[in-house]
């Protein structure tokens, strides 16, 4: 099953990315970045200056990673340990993303919270944040200016990158909440990174920390000045504030969307925790209009990969001007033929795909039982000898002919016995292959040439 990460992507993440791409100069900056950026540089740095963790190198931490990747539907990235007293973890790369954790992180957090941090980083990979995050990190740190592209790095772009990167953290936090089955560990990570080191010998209250987070949220929301001051203070910060992250995780973990998301991602009952598994719902990967026009086999495969099981197809012979064979012309889910990307439907929903395909000769014949086809078009008969045409139509199965003569004076254009008009049941224009009853009346008008007196 292909996992649709849109189900846990934070709304502000999605909106901020769209806003970032709309900033004038973003496309030029991206093109410049792709010219100078080389993913191999990261690999050289990692292999030469950091510890690559694996089954034979600090396996305790590496073995935390594969179960997370399996749950989120991504390949297992390389994991490195960096000597740095600051507690941190980050993901970089593009085609081969990797995760780096610092020694300070292992000294700050108890081991039971390290999988939560790794799940957060894997969330970045699953949401396809990594390329833009790598780009944003280099821009905000000034590295991009050193490459000679400072005119492209405008203040609006810097601020837009910082804002999107802050918003993207909320989506990654949700990935950690999904893996853990609750927001408890992610909230504890936030509290510890805010100041509660594991070596501090004192009791810390999560309830009090969450009260602090709520108080901060209300303080900012209720004061335009505080909101403005927050923006000025943190406009170039690429990570959201710890209490805000904890609050967002807690809110989402108590939402209906979280319940649907967990049920959607659950391969079995284990991830559900205290949630009861009822009818599993699946989010649509795309809106209905996306599927129309695609080959119906491709659409079926996409829906099966998403997890739907009750999929039926029906053929139509009605086509538009540019409709191709096997092209999807309509898709319905539980009789709903207009739906948006991300809309939720039960996995056993009745899906009906209507596709175009021309009729087979057998189907055409069955639809015209008792009829026969005219061998040629009316315009092709005009100008031919009427006896030849009558014989041809008779061989096709027609039997009722009305012969009419049209007397014309001899001229260079007059031709004896030449058909000037033909009709079938009064229809003067017909095409080759048109269907008519064998007893149809065929009226043939032909020329009889006489000498001019």
Summarised one tens digit per residue, pLDDT across range 432-451 is 999 999 999 999 999 998 88
Residue 380 and residue 432: Cα distance in Å, rounded? Answer: 9
- Region(s) of the chain under CATH 3.30.10.20: 370-450
**What DSSP character marks residue 76?**
P
Structure tokens at 305: 């990969």
> Residue 265: what pLDDT?
79
What average pLDDT does the segment 156-161 reach? 89
Q: How confident is the model at residue 270 (pLDDT cuts 50, 70, 90)?
A: very low
Residue 276 has pLDDT above 80, yes or no: no
In the chain, DSSP finds a helix count (H) and a strand count (E) of 20, 14
CA separation, residue 170 to residues 60, 150, 219, 341, 374 (Å): 27, 30, 20, 21, 70
- pLDDT of 267 over the 70 cut: no
CATH of the structural domain 281-358, one choice from 2.40.128, 3.30.70, 3.30.10, 2.70.98: 3.30.10
Q: Which of the four pLDDT bands, split at 50, 70 and 90, describes residue 271?
A: very low
Q: What would the mean pLDDT of 27-35 be, rounded to a whole number?
A: 82
pLDDT by residue (tens digit) across 192-240?
999 998 888 889 999 999 999 999 888 888 888 878 887 778 777 877 7
Q: What is the pLDDT of residue 256?
A: 87
Query: Closest by alpha carbon to 139, among 124, 123, 154?
Result: 154
CATH topology of domain 370-450: Trypsin Inhibitor V; Chain A (3.30.10)
Residue 278 confidence (pLDDT) = 58
pLDDT per position as a tens digit, 234-243: 777 877 789 9
At 438 the pLDDT is 95
Q: How high is the pLDDT of residue 145?
A: 64
**Beta-strand relationship, 400-409 and 311-316:** unpaired
Question: pLDDT per residue over 297-331, tens digit each?
Answer: 999 999 998 889 999 999 998 888 888 999 999 99
Instruction: Give me the pLDDT at residue 78, please.
Output: 96
pLDDT of residue 266: 72
The model's pTM? 0.71
Q: Percentage of the chain with pLDDT > 70?
A: 95
Locate 278 and state its tokens: 């009822």
At 363-401, the pLDDT tens digits run 888 889 999 999 999 999 999 999 999 999 999 999 999
- Identify the top-confidence range among 29-38, 100-109, 125-134: 100-109
Q: Could you please report the per-residue DSSP string of 384-439?
A: SBHHHHHHHHHHHT--EEEEEEEEEE--SS--TTBEEEEEETTB----TT-EE-TT
Per the prediction, the chain carries an average pLDDT of 89
Residue 147 binned pLDDT confidence (cut-offs 50, 70, 90) = low
Q: For residue 133, is pLDDT > 70? A: yes
Report residue 453's pLDDT band, with 50, 70 and 90 as the boundaries: low
Give the CA distances from residue 448 to residues 8, 84, 393, 415, in Å, rounded to whole numbers and listed in that order: 84, 107, 21, 8
pLDDT score for 240? 73
Q: What is the pLDDT of residues 75-105, one digit of tens each?
A: 999 999 999 999 999 999 888 999 999 999 9
CB 350 within 8 A of CB 314: no
The whole-number pLDDT of residue 199 equals 86
- Which whole number is the average pLDDT over 260-272? 65
pLDDT band at 148 (very low <50, low <70, confident <90, very high): low
For residue 295, give every residue at least 6 positions away whose Cβ sits within 8 Å of its Cβ, in sequence order, or none: 326, 327, 328
Reduced to 3 states, what is the DSSP secondary structure of residue 259? Answer: helix
Helix (H, G, I), strand (E, B) or coil at 354: strand
């Amino acid at each position: 099953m292909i996992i649709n990460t849109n189900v846990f992507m934070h709304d502000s993440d999605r909106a901020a990315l769209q806003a970032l791409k709309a900033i004038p100069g973003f496309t030029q900056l991206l093109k410049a970045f792709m010219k100078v950026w080389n993913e191999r540089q990261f690999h050289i740095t990692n292999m030469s200056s950091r510890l690559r963790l694996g089954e034979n190198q600090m396996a305790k931490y590496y073995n935390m990673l594969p179960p997370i990747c399996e749950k989120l539907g991504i390949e297992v990235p390389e994991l490195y340990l960096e000597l740095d007293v600051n507690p941190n973890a980050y993901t970089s790369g593009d085609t081969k993303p990797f995760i780096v954790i610092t020694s300070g992180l292992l000294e700050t957090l108890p081991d039971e919270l390290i999988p939560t941090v790794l799940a957060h980083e894997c969330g970045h990979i699953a949401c396809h944040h990594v390329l833009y995050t790598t780009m944003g990190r280099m821009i905000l740190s000034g590295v991009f200016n050193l490459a000679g592209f400072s005119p492209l790095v405008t203040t609006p772009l810097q601020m837009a990158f910082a804002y999107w990167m802050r918003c993207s953290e909320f989506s990654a936090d949700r990935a950690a909440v999904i893996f853990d089955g609750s927001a408890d560990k992610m909230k504890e990570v936030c509290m510890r990174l805010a100041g509660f080191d594991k070596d501090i010998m004192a009791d810390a209250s999560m309830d009090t920390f969450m009260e602090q987070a709520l108080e901060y949220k209300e303080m900012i929301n209720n004061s335009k000045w505080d909101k403005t001051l927050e923006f000025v203070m943190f406009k170039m910060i690429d990570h959201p504030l710890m209490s805000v992250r904890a609050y967002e995780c807690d809110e989402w973990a108590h939402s209906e969307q979280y319940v649907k998301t967990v049920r959607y991602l659950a391969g079995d009952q284990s991830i559900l925790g205290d949630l009861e598994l009822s009818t599993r719902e699946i989010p649509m990967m795309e809106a209905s209009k996306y599927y129309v026009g695609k080959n119906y086999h491709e659409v079926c495969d996409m829906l099966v990969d998403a997890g739907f099981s009750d999929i039926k197809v029906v053929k139509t012979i009605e086509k538009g001007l540019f409709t191709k064979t096997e092209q999807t012309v309509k898709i319905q889910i539980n009789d709903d033929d207009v739906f948006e990307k991300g809309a939720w439907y039960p996995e056993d929903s009745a899906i009906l795909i209507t596709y175009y395909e021309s009729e087979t000769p057998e189907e055409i014949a069955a639809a015209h039982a008792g009829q026969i086809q005219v061998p040629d078009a009316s315009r092709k008969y005009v100008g031919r000898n009427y006896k030849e045409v009558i014989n041809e139509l008779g061989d096709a199965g027609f039997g009722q002919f009305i012969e009419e003569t049209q007397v014309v004076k001899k001229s260079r254009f007059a031709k004896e016995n030449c058909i000037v008009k033909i009709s079938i049941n009064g229809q003067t224009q017909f095409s080759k292959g048109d269907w008519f009853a064998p007893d149809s009346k065929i009226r043939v008008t032909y020329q009889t040439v006489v000498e001019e007196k």
